[in-house]
Structure formats: C-alpha cells, structure tokens
Amino acid sequence: MAAISHMTVYLAELKVQTPRHHGVGSVVGGIDNVFVCLRDTEGRCGWGEASPWPVFTGTAQSAAGALDTHFRPHVVGKEPSGVAGIMHIANKTVAAAPEAKAALEMALYDLYGQQCGLPVSELLGGRVRDEIPLSISIADPDFGRDKDLAKRAHGDGILIFKVKTGFAEHDFDLMRLENLRSEFPDVDIRVDYNQGLVAHEALAKLRDITLFKPTFIEQPVPADNWRAMTALTAAIDTPIMADESVFNAVDAYRAAEAKIADLFSVKIMKSGGMRAGQDISAVAKSAGIACYGGDMFESGLAHLAGTHMIAATENISLGCEFYQARYYLTEDVLEVPFACDNGKVQVPTTGGLGGAVDEGKIRKWASVIRE
C-alpha cells in the first residue's frame, strides 16, 4: 500500500452559535480544535481531529505540539495499514495527550480505509448496527434559546435530551426538567452534572432529580471522588453514569470493581482513540456495565470516527451525543452535512471515515499550520 508522504497539522478555531455551560466550565464564542491531514504517495488524504477542552482533557496547543513535534517522525514514510504499531509508538512517545492520539489514529484509519475500500467500522471488527440514536444537550444558560433548540431537534425526530445541570441554582435545574418533561413527554431525558455537585450536598439534590425519571444521571461529583460516586450509586435507583472518572481501560476495571457507577461514557477524545474506546467497552461489558457514546466539542469529522466506533462495538448501546456539527457549530468542516435521519445517526458505508473534509475552511480558520 502507498506510504504516508506528507503530514499537515492545523490549529483552528471553530465558531459556535450559543454559550454552553457545564458543571466544570463553559464554552463561549468558539472552540480551538486541531486537525491533521496524512497524504499518501498516491494523493489520498486521511483526516483526524483533536477536540480538547482545557478543564477536561487538555489544550489544543499541546495536542498540536504532540502531533507536529513528537508523532510526525514516527508517521511520515510509514504505511497507514500499520496503525497498531504506529499507535504503540505514539503511546510510548508521549504520556497522556489522548486527543492528539485520537486524531492520529483517526487519520490513519481514514487513509487505510480509503486505500483498501472499507469503512472504518469494518476495520474495527465489523458493524453491529447501521444507525445510532442521537442525543442533544440542553446546556444554554438562556433556557428560552434551549427550548427553541429542543423544538427544532424534536421536529427532526430526536428523542433523547441530555440536560446539563449543576452550573446554576438547583431550582433552575428543576424548572428546566419539569418544563421539558411536560412539553416533550415522549423524550428520553438524561441528566449530566459534569462534576458540578459538592459531595455532601449531592444525595438530596439527586433525589429531587429522580422525580423527573431521567434514564441516567451522569458524573454528579468530581472525578476523583470515587467514594462519593459509589455511595450515590448505591443510594438511588436511577442509574449513575461515570464520565470524567473513567478515561481508559484501567480506570474502567477499577471503577467496575469499586462499583462507582452503573454505566460508563466512552469518548474517543478521552480514551485516546477508537480502539482504546472499544477496550473500555469490553471491560465494562465483562462487568455488566452498558456504555454511551459521548463526545467533546467536535466537528462532523470526529463525529464520524465516534460513529464508526459505536457501530462496531455492541456494548456502546445507549446512543450518541454527536449533535454539535448540525446543531451547535456555526459551520462544519465536512463538505456534506453529518448524516442524521429521523433522530438517528447513519453509519457511513464508503471507504475510510466516509466524509469529505473542506480543507479550504480549515485553512481559513487556522491560526497555526505546520507542514
């Protein structure tokens, strides 16, 4: 197969439509993401994206540095079919940096899939589903704007809303849940605190939340407070999901053993790639823990990678959160909109990730380009 001849790294700002508030931080105006293009000797281009959030995983600047300075020497001149070996070296070369590793793996699989004519889901073991229920997040401090978003999404067939809580007063959270439960009785409502509660106040507030019958409550307390997570999981009937507490398969093993949650959120930006996400899901499955396909503030490019991972992973069965490309960014990087039909993400069937990237847009938005 054709070898990789060029590697280009872009640090770019993607503009967003509205503020989004979460338990540990906010996004206003725009997000800094990193894109990597791997070109082979026959002119194909495999694309990857790193979407860090400084309060969660790291910075875009550090991800760009890892890709450009530390990973580049181990990529150019190699064949993308050697993705496992390249990622092994990447993991030994730089500690942490999961978003940079996710972007590299994404680009390698995209290029490899194009070369052999197979979608990435087939390279990850073969698909077990052709579509994935889509969830949108309710996280705007202006609930009126969020209601408009909810109505638009519901009209498009989306039947899962995740309400971000803990960034304002408890009464505000209860008001929004009551309003949404009343106006959208057919919607699967979920709650996500993003670590926003103080441990000694959490149980009383969660008992109030359970009155609205959410499908799950995600990461109510800080990621490192496993004792509180275990106590809350045991204290209420509503399933508790671990997100920030579980970054990798080792975390998943320990979390399952400690019974800190009933469910896990799997994100390629958190785990360091699609294969690492599958590893987390496999550990969770062995403990009887179902998983959800979460994401960061991503474009449609990273959404495609997450879609292929979920399509090929039976235990990531609780839907996905890939709404940003269609409902949050002012403009996406894909030439054709990220595919969603009647509230379900459609799994691509063409070679690679299955989406053409508009490189001109990325160059226009980029503040740093390394070739």
* Domains of the chain, start order: 4-118+357-370 (3.30.390.10), 123-346 (3.20.20.120)
Residue that the structure tokens 């994401």 belong to? 295
* pLDDT score of 368: 98
* pLDDT score of 121: 98
* pLDDT score of 203: 98
* pLDDT score of 287: 98
Residues in the chain: 371
Distance CA(306)–CA(345), nearest Å, equals: 11
* pLDDT score of 230: 98
**Which candidate, 335, 348, 352, 337, places its Cα nearest to that of 307?**
348
* pLDDT score of 174: 98
* Longest Cα separation, the chain: 61
Q: Are strands 20-22 and 340-341 parallel, antiparallel or unpaired?
A: unpaired
Query: Are the beta carbons of 320 and 293 closer than 8 angstroms?
Result: yes
Averages of pLDDT over each 10 residues, the chain, 371 residues: 97 97 95 98 98 95 98 98 98 98 99 98 98 98 98 98 97 98 98 98 98 98 98 98 98 98 98 98 98 98 98 98 98 97 98 98 98 97
